Amino acid sequence: MLILKKEDFDRILKHCREGLPNEACGLIAGRIDGETKTVEKVYLLTNVDESRDHFSMDPKEQFAAVKDARKEGLELLGNFHSHPESPSRPSEEDKRLAYDSASEYLILSLMDEEHPVLNAFHIDKDKNVSKNEIRMIE
């Protein structure tokens, strides 16, 4: 299970809407307690590809986020990106690029911008996808 504060969801949503028509991306960091991952910090990064169907995180921003998370005593939990025109599920490219089977892969669909859909996924080393529960808290 992934625990996400409503204010962090709102930050991710705003970042992704501002990135339209392109995909937006970022990292999440927090704490792990058994099967529960709690997001403590969201890093809003730049999609240097400026593409509607692909993202690459700015390497300098990514490095700064990892450095900050370590300084804060947090673990990198995974990443998020938006799908401006497709459902909240990993594309074939998302699966191909999923190198860390311990990571959470969050995908925010803005296909219906008034009804955004956020899902979290686990992608194992064999590229099998399973959906993880997200619990939103205040």
119-136 pLDDT, tens digit each: 999 999 999 999 999 999
Task: Sketch the domain layout of the chain as residue ranges.
Answer: 2-137
Q: Where are the alpha helices (DSSP H) in the chain?
A: 6-19, 59-71, 92-96
> Which of these CATH numbers, 3.30.565.10, 3.40.50.720, 3.40.140.10, 3.30.420.40, describes 2-137?
3.40.140.10
71-116 pLDDT, tens digit each: 999 999 999 999 999 999 999 999 988 888 889 999 999 999 899 9
- Tokens read off for 134: 């997200």
Structural element, H or E, at residue 4:
strand 2-5
